């Protein structure tokens, strides 16, 4: 897969599996090659079209904080997604060895859903005049679970995976989540609640 680079300061386009796996190494754990390529295609589009249409460079995306809501903590958005997917894989393994009944966890869908749950965030985020990352007007109108599903639908992502994207956040509280979505939802909030805790503690010290 060739990578077209306009200049180091411009977003790269035509990112394939190898390039997206630089950001998210767990992408390579998806066994179904077609699904793996589709997940990469969704992220490619999110990166190229996010930030109010300006697109993101890898460097800019890597610098985005985990959450704009948690205050100043040492964790980035990309690190959070990588943390969640690893938590999901670990949780699935523990559940499968702990429950005496069979748990029908679809691992490829779980990993794909974990990697795509926040793929709408590059569209939700924009930069203000000072270059600070903020929730843009579009992001206020259409939060990332919705844009995430829109992007995923465009690239033929299976319904089981779109369900995880759609229901992972509070928008999904009124729905019955699938097993994979339950696992991701909790992993996501483990990170988020700890980030909030640490953010509050940091604010008290300063």
Q: Is 45 in the site for Fe ion (CB under 5 A)?
A: no
- Between CA 35 and CA 141 the distance in angstroms is 29
Nearest residue to Fe ion by CB is: 118
Residue 118 vs 180, nearer CB to Fe ion: 118
For the bound state, the minimum distance from the C-beta of residue 86 to Fe ion, rounded and expressed in Å, comes to 16
Selected range binding Fe ion among 36-44, 52-60, 108-116, 168-176, rule: CB under 5 A: 168-176
Q: Which residue number, 11 or 148, has a Cβ lying nearer to Fe ion?
A: 148
Shortest distance (Å) from residue 102 CB to Fe ion: 29
One DSSP character per residue, 48-117 reads HHTTTTT---HHHHHHSBS-TTS-S-S-BHHHHHHHHHHHHHHHHHHHHHH-SS-----HHHHHHHHHHT
The residues near 60 (Cβ < 8 Å, ≥ 6 apart) are 51
Closer to Fe ion by CB, 37 or 68: give it. Answer: 68
Stretch that binds Fe ion, among 5-13, 93-101, 104-112, 169-177 (CB under 5 A): 169-177
Cβ distance to Fe ion smaller for residue 83 or 169:
169
Q: Least separation, in Å, of the C-beta of 150 and Fe ion?
A: 15
DSSP H or E stretch at residue 161: helix 159-167
Tell the smallest beta-carbon distance from residue 69 to Fe ion (Å): 11
Closest approach, Cβ 20 to Fe ion, in A, equals: 18
The minimum distance between CB 144 and Fe ion, in angstroms, equals: 6
CA–CA gap between residue 40 and residue 79 (Å, rounded)? 17
What is the rounded distance in angstroms from the CA atom of residue 199 to the CA atom of residue 55? Answer: 28
# of chain residues touching Fe ion (CB under 5 A): 2
Examine residue 118 and tell whether it contacts Fe ion (CB under 5 A). Answer: yes
Three-class SS state of 165: helix
- Per DSSP, the three-state class of 4 is strand
Footprint of Fe ion (CB under 5 A) = 118, 169
């Amino acid at each position: 897969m060739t990578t077209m680079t306009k200049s180091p300061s411009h977003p790269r386009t035509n990112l394939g599996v190898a390039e997206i796996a630089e950001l998210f190494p767990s992408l390579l754990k998806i066994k179904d090659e077609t699904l793996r390529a589709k997940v990469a295609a969704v992220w490619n589009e999110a990166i190229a079209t996010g930030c109010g249409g300006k697109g993101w460079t890898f460097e800019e995306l890597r610098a985005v904080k985990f959450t704009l809501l948690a205050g100043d903590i040492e964790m980035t958005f990309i690190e959070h997604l990588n943390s969640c997917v690893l938590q999901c894989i670990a949780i699935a393994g523990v559940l499968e060895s702990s429950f005496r009944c069979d748990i029908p966890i679809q691992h490829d869908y779980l990993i794909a859903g974990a990697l795509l749950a926040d793929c709408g965030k590059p569209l939700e985020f924009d930069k203000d005049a000072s270059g600070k990352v903020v929730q843009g007007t579009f992001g206020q109108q259409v939060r990332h679970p919705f844009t995430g599903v829109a992007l995923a639908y465009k690239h033929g992502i299976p319904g089981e995976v779109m369900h995880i994207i759609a229901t992972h956040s509070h928008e999904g509280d009124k729905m019955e989540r699938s097993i994979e979505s339950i696992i991701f939802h909790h992993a996501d909030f483990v990170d988020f609640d700890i980030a909030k805790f640490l953010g509050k503690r940091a604010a008290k010290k300063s």
